[in-house]
Structure 1
Amino acid sequence: MSELNHTYLEALQMARWERPDIAALKRTAEGSWLLESHSMTARLKRHCHDFDVDVIAVYQLTPDKLTDGEIALIGQEACVVREVVLKGDGRPWLCARTLMPASTLEGQGGHLHALGTEPLGQHVFKQRASRRDAIETANVACLSHQLHARRSRLWLHNRPMLVAELFLPDSPVYGKEIPA
C-alpha cells in the first residue's frame, strides 16, 4: 500500500462521526454529496471520462476489532474489510473502507467479497432490495487539508454493510456540481 493511501485510511479511521443537522447541511455546497442516498460511484462518474477503482486491501476483521460505533450500526460479528480508492481521470477522488459482516456475505450477498475492481456502489444499487441510511459526517484533517467524510449503512437484501468515505482534495465535492 502506498504511503499516501495509508495516510488517507488512517485519517478515515480517526474520523469523529456525528449525525449531521440535515437542514443545515442541505444549505451547503457539499451537502448534496454528503447526503447522497444513491450510488456515489454513479455521481462521481458524471465528472470524468475514465473511472477506476484501486483496491488497496481486502482482509478479515474479528469482532473484537470493531469500534462501538461500528457495532451499533452493523452488529458485532466478523467482517470482510474492503479498502479502495476511487479515481476519476487518474486522480484519486475518494478513499473508502467498507465493513461487510459475515452474515451479509451469506446467500445473495456471497459474491460481494469477490468484487475485485468493480465499484461496490455500482453493484449494490443495481439491486432493487438496497438502500442507504444512518448517514454520519466528519471533517478530517489530513495532509494540511480539511476534508469531508461520511459514513453510512448500506442494506442489501436486508443485510447491512458499513461504508466510510473520505473525499480527497481533488474530488469534485470541492468544486462545482455538473448538472445531471
Structure 2
Amino acid sequence: MSDLNQTYLAALKQARWERPDIAALKRSQHGSWLLESHSMTARLKRHCQRFDVDVVNVYQLTPDKLTTDEVALIGHEACVVREVILKGDGHAWVCGRTLLPASTLEGQGGYLNALGAVPLGQHVFKQRASRRDAIEVAEVTMPTGGLQARRSRLWLHNRPMLVAELFLPDSPMYGKEIPA
C-alpha cells in the first residue's frame, strides 16, 4: 500500500463525524456530493472515460475494534473491512472504507465478499431493496489542506453496511459539476 493511501485511510479512520444541517449543506458548495443518496460510483463515472477501483486492503475486524458510533449504526458484530481508492481516468478521486457486518454478508449479500475491483455501489444500487441513510460529514485536515468526507449507512435487503468516503484533491467534487 502506498504511503499516500495509508495517510488517506488513517485520516478517514480519525475523521470527526457530525450529523449535518441538511438545509445549510444543500446550499453549500459541496452539499450535493455529500448528500448524494444514490450511487457515488454512478455519479463519479459521469466525470470520466475510465473508472477503476484499486482495492487497497480487505481484512476482518472483530466487534471489540468497532467504535461506539459504528456499533450504533451497524450493530456489534464482526465485520469485513474493504478499503479502496476510486479513480477516474487514472486520478485518485475517493478513498473509501466499508464495514460489512457478518450478517450482511449472509444470504443475498454473500456476493459482496467477492467484489474484488468491482465498485460496491455498482452492485448495491442495482438492488431494489437498497437505500442510504444516516449521512454524516467531516472536514479532514491534510498537509495539503482540508478535504471533505462523508459517512453513511447503506441498507441491502434490510441489512446494514457503513461506508466512509474521503474526497481526494483531484475529485470532481472540487471542480465544475457535470449535469446528469
TM-score using structure 1 length: 0.99
Which residue does 1:114 correspond to in 2?
114
Say if 2:13 is the partner of 1:13. yes
Which residue does 1:136 correspond to in 2?
136
- 1:116-140 deviations in whole A, cap 9, x for unaligned? 0000001100000000000000000
Q: SS in structure 1 opposite 2:108?
A: helix
Which residue does 1:105 correspond to in 2?
105
Which residue does 2:82 correspond to in 1?
82
Once the two structures are aligned, what percentage of the paired residues are identical? 80
1:113 Cα offset (Å): 1.2
1:6 Cα offset (Å): 0.2
Distance 1:92 1:46 in 2: 15
Say if 2:162 is the partner of 1:162. yes
1:29 Cα offset (Å): 1.6
Distance 1:6 1:117 in 2: 18
1:145 Cα offset (Å): 1.6
Give unmatched runs, 5+ long, in structure 1.
Answer: none
Which residue does 1:67 correspond to in 2?
67
Give unmatched runs, 5+ long, in structure 2.
Answer: none
Which residue does 2:174 correspond to in 1?
174
Distance 1:58 1:48 in 2: 26
* Runs (4+) off by over 6 Å: none
Matches within 5 A, 1:30-49: 30-49=30-49
**How many residues are treated as equivalent by the alignment?**
180
Distance 2:54 2:17 in 1: 25
Distance 1:142 1:55 in 2: 22
1:35 Cα offset (Å): 0.1
Distance 1:138 1:62 in 2: 25
Q: SS in structure 1 opposite 2:98?
A: strand
Which residue does 2:22 correspond to in 1?
22
1:156 Cα offset (Å): 0.2
